Chains A and B, each alone.
Chain A
Amino acid sequence: MSDFLLTQVINYGAPILGLIVFIGAMGPPLPATLMVIAAGAFSNQGFLSWWTTALVVLACVVAGDSLSYAMGYYAREPVLRRFGKSERWARAEAAFDRWGATSVLLTRFLITGLAVPVNLLAGTSNFGFRRFFLYDLAGETIWVFGYGGLGYLFGTQWELVGEFISSFGSLTLGLVILITGIVLAIRWLRAR
């Protein structure tokens, strides 16, 4: 999959890269981070225009995130019908209201595997779109310019950077899941 997409990026440039990150922002598991790092390297080699590519990618990924937020928003009614009156849903909404901004920001560039669930949750819960948009834009700017910048800096060695960052993202996701499991285990044992 990555190889096919890389060939398309060197053939068609920023528009295809924008399409990849747009679709990736709505859920399908596309290697968007790897593509951004590669695009940085291709810019360094003169195949892509750095600023145009960065702006197209940023606009497309924010549009994709906003669309997945909208999917959560329009699923709100059925979700509320099912869980709306439960105490747990109220607690989850309150927790998202408190930690939502940080979650939106960090899942844009650090724990990217959780970005789509966070978008949907933000739309479904009471998290305002303007707030979501601002944190999303900030996080995606770090993602595009940070990872694209690393690719640009390392040029033809971008594959090494890409492998490290992809593994590091999944490692962070693993740590989050592990810590959540441990916290729940401690609470469960205390309650017994």
Chain B
Amino acid sequence: MQTSRKSRQRTLVVGLILVGLILVGVFGFRAARAFREFRRYGPPPPLAGEPAETDVELIRDWMTIPFIAQMYHVPGRVLFKSLDIPEHNNKEKSLKQLNDEYYPEAEGIVLAKVKAAVLANQPPPLPTVPATPTLP
């Protein structure tokens, strides 16, 4: 009885230490990697007057066409047209769902087409105004 209890205690302690070490190792590595990435991107963008997003690499499979349209200031109908997909009944579907439904044989084609359409149709950047007026 006593031996069995001791054995259970030993298993528990060894188990806790092993699980703890595995979690610390795996997630410590992941946290360090995420932190390095995080620092590489520098400080957060300014809050006020943020312009439309221009980096199409931020487009993900889970996004919907209206979401991308608003994020990149590109009309949604232009994006649907570039995909040859009707707007009706498709506004709430993610790019992955659209891909599975309309292009099941070509994985990732919807994402690629949307990125290309956004790049081709983004509004021109606003002209920058000099901080202080200059006299001729």
Contact = CB atoms under 8 A, between A and B. Distances in A.
Given A153-B44, A160-B37, A164-B38, A175 B24 contact: yes
Contact of B47 (A7, A47, A153): A153
B120 interface: no
A153 to B, nearest CB: 5
Interface in A152-177: 153-157, 160-161, 163-164, 167-168, 170-171, 173-177
Given A155-B44, A164-B31, A185-B17, A10 B67 contact: yes
B12 interface: yes
Interface of B: prevailing SS: helix
Given A7-B64, A178-B24, A157 B34 contact: no
A7 B120 CA distance: 25
Nearest to A180: B16
A171 B34 CA distance: 13
A164 B40 CA distance: 13
B70 A45 contact: yes
A184 B22 CA distance: 18
B126 interface: no
Contact of A167 (B9, B31, B47, B94): B31
B61 A174 contact: no
A94 interface: no
Interface string B78-114: 0000000000000011101100000000000000000
Given A3-B96, A10-B67, A160-B41, A171 B23 contact: yes
Interface residues on B, range: 35 or more
Contacts of B94: 3-4, 7
B24 A3 contact: no
A177 B31 CA distance: 18
B13 interface: yes
A10 B53 CA distance: 17
B123 interface: no
Given A7-B62, A188-B10, A177 B34 contact: no
Nearest to B17: A181
A2 B94 CA distance: 13
Contacts of B30: 163, 167, 170
A179 interface: yes
Q: Which 7 A-B pairs have CB atoms at the shortest separation, nearest pair first?
A: A174-B23, A178-B20, A181-B16, A3-B62, A181-B17, A164-B34, A167-B31
